Amino acid sequence: MSTQLPAHDSIVFFNGSLMPEKDVGIPIRDRGFIYGDAVFDATRTFGGRTFRLKEHIQRLYNSLRYLRIDPGLDPAEMERWSLEVVNHNHPLLPPGQDMWVMQRISRGVESSEPGAAEQPTVLIESHAIPFARRATLYRDGISVVTPSVPRIPPRFLSPRAKTHNYLNLIMGDLEVRDTDPNAWSVLLDEAGNLTEGRGSNIFLVKDGTVTTPRGQFVLEGITRGVVLDLAAGLGLPVAETDLDLYDAYTADEAFLTSTSLCVCPIGKVNGAAIGQGTVPGPVTQQLMTAFSDLAGMDYVEQYLAHLPS
C-alpha cells in the first residue's frame, strides 16, 4: 500500500488508486448521480474478515453486465482492492465493530461529445454497520409492514440486478416509516405476493418447511442463498415459491435475511404476531446458530451487546 495513505483516516479505492475518503469528489455530471445509472454490491466483515466476497463480486459483475457497464477491472482486481480497503479501514473501527465494504460503479460522466467513450466511475468504500440502532430487532423481532407501493415487475427492471435505482423500495419504506418509524417494509408485487424489503429478503417457516419468494422477483440475496443451503444441510425442506399475506399471517415463524442482518426474526407482519409470538422461533434459532457457526462468530451476540442498558 502507498506510504502517502493516512494511518488514522479511512481510505477508498477511487478510479484506479487508493486515497483518503475525504479527498474523493464525484463529478456533478456523473450518470450515477444524475440518473442512478450505476450498480453496487455490499459485503460485510465478521471480526474484520470478509464473508462471501467472491459471491458478492460475482453478483456485482452480473449487475454490470445487465446494465452494459465495463468497469475496466476484472473480478480478481475488484476483490484485491476491496480487501486493501478493508485491511486499512477495519482496524480504525472501535473494538468489536464490523463494517460493509461496497463497490459502486457508475457509467461515468455524461459526455456532450458525440461518440465519446464513457469512463466508468469506480469506487470501493467501507462504513460501519449500525449495530446499536438495530440491537432491539434481535430481542423483539422485526415489525414488517407491507406498503401500498408494489415492487416494480421484473420485465420493467429486474430486481436481480443491484442497481442504484432504489426509489421503488424507498417509496415503500417512506410510507411504512410514516406509519411506524421502527417498522421495516416488505413490498408486495402486483399480484399480492411478498417480494423483498429495501435491503432484505423475507422467509416464512410453516410446518417445518422454509420458504422464500422466487428468485426472479427479488434480489437473490447472498444471505438468502446461504440460508437456503444451511436449511437444506439441517435436513429442513426448503421451497422458493409464491407467498402472499395469507401465508405470512398463518406462518409459524418468519425472518429477514441480509448481508448485515444475517438472519433476524420477524415478530409481526402488519401488526399481526407471527406464530406463537416467541422470537426467534425454533427453526429461525437453528438457522441463526448455523449462520454464526459458518461466519465464525456469534453475530447475534455482537448485535445484542449494543442493547441500551
Contact footprint for ligand PLP (CB under 6 A): 42, 169, 196, 199-201, 218-219, 221-224, 257-259
- In the complex, minimum distance from the CB of residue 162 to ligand PLP, in angstroms, rounded to a whole number: 6
- In the complex, minimum distance from the CB of residue 197 to ligand PLP, in angstroms, rounded to a whole number: 7
Cα gap 61→35, rounded to integer Å: 20
- In the complex, minimum distance from the CB of residue 116 to ligand PLP, in angstroms, rounded to a whole number: 32
The residue among 13 and 291 lying less far from ligand PLP, judged by its C-beta, is: 291
The residue among 63 and 106 lying less far from ligand PLP, judged by its C-beta, is: 63
- In the complex, minimum distance from the CB of residue 45 to ligand PLP, in angstroms, rounded to a whole number: 13
The residue among 219 and 243 lying less far from ligand PLP, judged by its C-beta, is: 219
The residue among 14 and 100 lying less far from ligand PLP, judged by its C-beta, is: 100
Which residue's CB atom is positioned nearest to ligand PLP? Answer: 221
The residue among 58 and 278 lying less far from ligand PLP, judged by its C-beta, is: 58
The residue among 122 and 169 lying less far from ligand PLP, judged by its C-beta, is: 169
Cα gap 218→235, rounded to integer Å: 25
- In the complex, minimum distance from the CB of residue 27 to ligand PLP, in angstroms, rounded to a whole number: 25
- In the complex, minimum distance from the CB of residue 229 to ligand PLP, in angstroms, rounded to a whole number: 13
Q: What is the 3-state secondary structure (H, E, C) of the chain?
A: CCCCCCCCCCEEEECCEEEEHHHCCCCCCEHHHHHCCEEEEEEEEECCEECCHHHHHHHHHHHHHHHCCCCCCCHHHHHHHHHHHHHHHHHHCCCCCCEEEEEEEECCECCCCCCCCCCCEEEEEEEECCHHHHHHHHHHCEEEECCCCCCCCCCCCCCCCCECCCHHHHHHHHHHHHHCCCCEECCECCCCEECECCCCEEEEEECCEEEECCHHHCCCCHHHHHHHHHHHHCCCCEEECCCEHHHHHCCCEEEEEECCCEEEEEEEECCEECCCCCCCCHHHHHHHHHHHHHHCCCHHHHHHCCCCC
Phi/psi at 256 (5° precision): -105, 150
204 forms beta bridges with 211, 254
The residue among 163 and 286 lying less far from ligand PLP, judged by its C-beta, is: 163
The residue among 218 and 251 lying less far from ligand PLP, judged by its C-beta, is: 218
- In the complex, minimum distance from the CB of residue 32 to ligand PLP, in angstroms, rounded to a whole number: 16
- In the complex, minimum distance from the CB of residue 200 to ligand PLP, in angstroms, rounded to a whole number: 5
